[in-house]
Structure 1
Amino acid sequence: MLADHQHGSSRVTPGDTYSRYVALGDSQTEGVGDGDDLIGLRGLADRFAELLAVTNPQLQYANLAVRGKLARHVHEEQLTDALRLRPDLVTVIAGVNDVLRPGFDADEVAGHLEAMFAELTTHGAVVVTLTFPDPARITPLARMVSGRVAVLNQRIRAAAQQYGVIVAETADHAAVTDPRLWGADRLHASPLGHQRIAEALASALQLPGSDDSWTRPVLPPLPKRGALSTATNEMLWAAKFLGPWLGRRLTGRSSADGRTAKRPDLLPVRADEDSPQCDGRTACP
C-alpha cells in the first residue's frame, strides 16, 4: 500500500494490508489511561496494531509517542525517526496539548500537522488521523476550550484533505462522551475508550471486519445524575485533577519530562492474552 506521490493522497481499498506501522503523537497514542507504568501501557495504537495484525500477522509496529508533547514536538522529535523506519502506515494524533496551553496558535499547530502529513505521504505512507470531541461534553468546566477544539478539528480536516490523509471522525458521535470511555482525569481515554478509538481508526481505514459499532452507545446505559450530584462531581474533579494540572503549567513542568518512546523500533505485534480485554461495546471489568 503506497500513497499517490503526485497528489500526496492515499489510495485505500478494503482488504489492503500493511507491514510497517508507526504511531506518532502524545499521551493518547502512548496509551495513558490504559494500564500504567508498573504493568505497562497498552492504548489505542497498541490496540489498532492488534487489529491490523489480524489481516497481516507479520505486521511490525513502533510507537514513538510521548505524553505531554505539543504538535511541534511531535513534528520535530518524532517525524525523522518515523521516516527512518520506512513505514507504510502511520497514525498522527496531536494538537490537544496545544489546545490546553494559554498561547494556543491554530496556524502553528496546523502548520506542523501539514508538514508531517506532506512528508509522510511523499515517502509513500498511508496516514491516518482523527478529530476530537468537544471537551465540554465530557466535563462542563472545559467549556472555555470548546472553540479551540472546533478550530483544531477544522484545521485537521483541511490539512488531511490537502494531503490525502484518512480521518477518523470521532468528534461528533454521542457515544464518545460516555464517561466510561474516559479515565478519572477526563483528559485520557479509559481502556474502553482506547479500544473504541482503535476501532474508529480501523473503520476509517476500511480494515476487513471493521464497521461502525464503535459509534454505538455503551451498554448498559448509565443512570441519570441529578444537578447536585453533577456539581459535586465537578468540584471533586477540579480539586483532584484540574488544580494539579494547572500547577504544572504555572511552574513550567511537563508530563513529558524524562520520558522517551515506549517502542522506538519496529517489533512484531504480539497480543498479550493475559492482559485485560475490552470488546469496545460494554464497560470493561
Structure 2
Amino acid sequence: MNQTPRFRSMVALGDSFTEGMCDDTAPDGHYVGWADRVAARLAEEADGEFRYANLAVRGKLIGQIAEEQGDAALALDGELVTLAGGLNDVMRPGCDVDHVERTLGALAGRIAGQARQVVMFYSVDPSRRMRSSGRIMPQILRLQGFVRDFAARHDNIAVVDLFHVPAFDDPRMWAEDRLHFSAEGHRRVAEAVLQALGFAPSFDWREPLPTAAPIPRLTRLRADLRWIRLHVLPWIGRRLTGRSSGDGRPAKRPALEPYPG
C-alpha cells in the first residue's frame, strides 16, 4: 500500500488562479483558494510543523511572476512548489508565445532543480464556456503542449489536467466575474492537486454537479448586465490604461510560516 506523501513546506507561485480569488474568504479577509486547501491538507498529514507561503498575485504576466516571485520562491526553499502562469499573457492580443514558453521554462527549470516536488497545470478548456475563446485556443493548446513536454523531462514535476474535465463548463464552478473559480471550483482543483501528489481520492473531482434548475431568462439578463457593469467594463478600463488588478498588491503569504490547516 502506498504511503500518504508528506511535505513539511509548500510555496505557491502564480496569478489570481493561485492567489485563490473566489467567493470564499478567511477571517483575515484573504481568499481561500485551492492552494490554501492543499496546504491545509498537507498540514494535517505532516507529523510536525508545516509551513506555507503563497506568493501569487492577481493579474501577473509570466515575466512578472518570474521576476517578482522566482528568486523569492527559491530563497524560501519549499519542498513542494506549485507553478501556474502564462494564461494572462495568452488572453492579451499579440501575445508572444515564444516569450511565454522561454520564461515559464526557465522559471520551472530553476524550481525543479531545487524542489522535491513541483506541480504545474493545464488550464481549463474555455471553448464551450466563452464564445470569444476561439482567438486564444491555439495559444492555449500550444502552452499545454509545452507544459506536457517540459514535465516529461523532469521526474519531479506533476501536471494537473483541468483542460479535459467537462465539469468545469458548469457556471457554478465559477465566481460572479466568470473568470475565476468559485469555492466549489477551488475545492475540486485542490483535490486534483492532492491526487496528483499521490493522496488517496477523497471524492471524484471530475464528476459533474447535479443538474441545476432552469434559470429564468430575465434573471439571466440581469446577471449579464451586472457582470458587464461590475467586471467587464473595469477590465476594459485597465487594459486601455495599461493597469493591472495586481498593481501594488503584495502577496498574501510572502513568508514561509507555520500553517495549521
**Structure 1: gaps of 5 or more residues:** 1-12, 272-285
Q: 1:179 maps to which residue?
A: 171
Q: 1:130 maps to which residue?
A: 121
AA aligned opposite 2:90: V
Choose from 177, 191, 196 the match for 1:199: 191
Provide TM-score, normalisation by structure 1: 0.82
AA aligned opposite 1:169: D
Q: Secondary structure at the match of 1:61?
A: strand
* Cα separation, 2, equivalents of 1:162 and 1:28: 25
Q: Secondary structure at the match of 2:189?
A: helix
* Cα separation, 2, equivalents of 1:247 and 1:33: 22
* Cα separation, 2, equivalents of 1:99 and 1:179: 22
Choose from 45, 62, 80 the match for 1:55: 45
Distance 1:118 1:25, change over 3 A: same
Choose from 13, 17, 27 the match for 1:28: 17
Distance 1:122 1:242, change over 3 A: same
Determine if the alignment matches structure 1 residue 241 to structure 2 residue 231: yes
Q: Secondary structure at the match of 2:71?
A: helix
AA aligned opposite 1:22: V
- Asked if the contact 1:70/1:95 (under 8 Å) is kept, the reply is yes
Q: CA deviation at 1:48?
A: 0.9
Q: 1:19 maps to which residue?
A: 8
| Cα-Cα RMSD | 2.4
Q: Secondary structure at the match of 1:90?
A: strand
* Cα separation, 2, equivalents of 1:124 and 1:21: 10
* Cα separation, 2, equivalents of 1:100 and 1:128: 22
Q: 2:75 maps to which residue?
A: 84
* Cα separation, 2, equivalents of 1:114 and 1:211: 32
- Asked if the contact 2:30/2:252 (under 8 Å) is kept, the reply is no
- Asked if the contact 2:22/2:181 (under 8 Å) is kept, the reply is yes
Q: Secondary structure at the match of 1:136?
A: coil
AA aligned opposite 2:18: T
AA aligned opposite 1:142: S
Quick check: 252-261 or 99-108, which moved more?
Answer: 99-108
AA aligned opposite 2:213: P
Q: CA deviation at 1:178?
A: 1.3
* Cα separation, 2, equivalents of 1:259 and 1:15: 36
* Cα separation, 1, equivalents of 2:215 and 2:149: 38
Distance 1:166 1:138, change over 3 A: same
Q: 1:100 maps to which residue?
A: 91
Q: CA deviation at 1:224?
A: 5.0
Q: 1:140 maps to which residue?
A: 131
Q: 1:6 maps to which residue?
A: none
AA aligned opposite 1:62: A
* Matching of residues 116-127 of structure 1 within 5 Å: 116-127=107-118
* Cα separation, 1, equivalents of 2:257 and 2:130: 38
AA aligned opposite 1:262: K
* Cα separation, 2, equivalents of 1:234 and 1:145: 22
Equivalent residue pairs, number: 257
Determine if the alignment matches structure 1 residue 254 to structure 2 residue 244: yes
Q: CA deviation at 1:231?
A: 7.7
Choose from 139, 145, 149 the match for 2:140: 149
AA aligned opposite 2:74: L
Distance 1:61 1:190, change over 3 A: same
Q: Secondary structure at the match of 2:118?
A: strand
Output one character per residue of 1:171-225: Cα deviation in whole Å (capped at 9) or x when no partner: 1111122111111111111111111111111111112x33661111123x12356
Provide TM-score, normalisation by structure 2: 0.89
* Cα separation, 1, equivalents of 2:160 and 2:172: 20
Q: Secondary structure at the match of 2:205?
A: helix
Q: CA deviation at 1:135?
A: 1.7
Q: Secondary structure at the match of 1:163?
A: coil
